[in-house]
Structure 1
Amino acid sequence: MGAFPKHALDSLNWMAAREAASRPGSTVIWPFGAVEQHGPHLPLGTDALFAEEVLEAVLERLPMQLPIWRLPLFQLGFSPEHGAFPGTLSLPAEVLLQVVMSVGADLARAGFQRLVLFNAHGGQIALLQVAARQLRAAHPRLAVMPCFLWSGPPGVSALVPEPERSDGLHAALAETSLMLHLAPELVGPERPREGHPDPAPPPGWSLEGAVPNAWLTADLSASGVVGDATGADAALGEALFTRLVDGWVALLGDLLSSSWPPRP
């Protein structure tokens, strides 16, 4: 095992952890990924790799004296929508809820003031929001922020043209391009374009959005791709990575310099 990453909570001894938790604004950030199919051209661990790479780049730019520490990546996630494809490993919802509740309870008892759930898998956004609300209700002095890697930083979605911005839901232009930038050796030669609903949804309805549908990938796609990966390239991936990292550096920096959110 190599050196611990920067800001790693598990690199501290228990006395240092106690001191860390007691600092004003003490914040723990916990990256979440998944092990699930990402088409014929991307690895099962795509979301986990994205969470780890973006978070490490962000923490490298945050000063060591800031009161933020990271937990190890939680790689297994909630991915039932991809269950028809071999290699997908999905935890039951109640298990992931219990994991967040248990770890969060320990952090709260230690005295940490904030927990950021830094999630890179779109299929567990709602579940981690539920977990965050339950954890906050059980431990009111621990602020809990369930965040999604691709949301929050400004200008990220603007790099992806329509209709892919709305319809590229999985293993499509954005994810393929980001992987071509971060780990091109893991990207296969295929660039599928698949997953458009047939028949199309009636007016006002969509796969995701204001009036969503609990879709399963196998309903839409034989390849596992939902969207259009044909135009993916490393230059777009680099631009996406830059905006993601810049955005999260700014967001976390502003959080750490504030007393938000209010606590009882």
Structure 2
Amino acid sequence: MPGRRLEWMSWPEIQEAGVQPGSTVVWPFGAVEQHGPHLPVCTDACFAEVVLDAVMARIKPNRPIWRLPLQMIGFSPEHEAFPGTLSLSAELILNMVEQVGNQLSRSGFERLILFNAHGGQISLLQVAARQLRARRPSLGVLPCFLWSGPEGISSLLPEPERYEGLHAGLAETSLMLYLQANQVGNIKQWDGVRDCPTPPLDPPNGWSLEGKVPNAWLTSDISATGVIGDSRQANALLGEQLFNLLVDGWLARFESLLDSSWPPRRIS
């Protein structure tokens, strides 16, 4: 879709796009990090790219929304014990978001959506967004996470996978089986977080891996395979259902944003 991608546009076309009321740019973020012994290291990047492409394809051509190229390498220090993981520093990503956001704002764009598919950089991109917004008040900055927002996702996942399948588990493996089945290895032999040389220690009472009282865990603390969850029941049908919910959900949110006047004008 060259017409939706800024990198395929000339500077006069970008100038014209930026001054349109409600002009919006989406920047997809992924990661290059281990996803267990059965998924490729580009898994998060693949999800961000494919879901965003599907959403953009369904938006009417006259809508003022465009996208940037995928930022494939992200912030993944929790996975650095596993070969193949590439991670940028937090400082570099903060600086990168600020610089790109500043330049988009100077081109007249009113909104920047950080469309992130990697759970390990949710909080970092929220900080980057708040910092950018403070320095560019006229630019609405919306950091979002692929799996948070669209309704119905959790209802497709059984317990305990719904809350314990944090990485390369049922949801991610099923989605990859639907999108790129030839890139998925033998999932039947892996038992997720239980496949460790010694049983992992549970977090202290009152603490959790994620949630209200999280801790800064490393994947190697709790998994020998890199999987946190259980991928054994993954299937392409579930992946298709997840994909449709993700696309429908983000399409509705993008349309809602385009219909709005966000960001609000500053109170003088």
Same fold (TM over 0.5): yes
What's the offset of the Cα at 1:261? 3.0
SS at the partner of 1:227?
coil
* Structure 2 counterpart of 1:235: 237
Choose the corresponding residue for 2:193, options 192, 195, 200: 195
Distance 1:42 1:5 in 2: 29
Residue deviations 1:40-95 (CA, integer Å, cap 9, x gap): 00000000000000000000100111000000000000000000000000001101
* Structure 1 counterpart of 2:123: 126
* Structure 1 counterpart of 2:226: 224
1:119–1:248 distance in 2 versus 1, CA, 3 Å: same
Residue deviations 1:93-117 (CA, integer Å, cap 9, x gap): 1011111111001001111000000
Matches within 5 A, 1:106-121: 106-121=103-118
Distance 1:203 1:6 in 2: 53
* Structure 2 counterpart of 1:205: 207
Matched, 1:73 2:70: yes
What's the offset of the Cα at 1:125? 0.3
Q: Which stretch shifts more, 250-259 or 184-193?
A: 184-193
What's the offset of the Cα at 1:157? 1.6
What's the offset of the Cα at 1:176? 0.2
Distance 1:205 1:232 in 2: 29
SS at the partner of 1:228?
coil
Distance 1:13 1:122 in 2: 34
What's the % identity of the aligned pairs? Answer: 64
* Structure 2 counterpart of 1:183: 180
Choose the corresponding residue for 2:159, options 127, 141, 162: 162
Distance 2:10 2:3 in 1: 15
Distance 2:8 2:265 in 1: 28
Q: Which stretch shifts more, 149-158 or 175-184?
A: 149-158
Instruction: Answer whether contact 1:48 1:73 (CA < 8 A) is retained.
Output: yes
* Structure 1 counterpart of 2:82: 85
Instruction: Answer whether contact 2:116 2:122 (CA < 8 A) is retained.
Output: yes
Structure 1: which 5+ runs fail to align? none
Aligned-residue CA RMSD in angstroms? 1.2
* Structure 2 counterpart of 1:244: 246
* Structure 2 counterpart of 1:98: 95
1:5–1:189 distance in 2 versus 1, CA, 3 Å: farther
How many equivalent residue pairs? 261
Choose the corresponding residue for 2:44, options 29, 44, 47: 47
Distance 1:66 1:172 in 2: 36
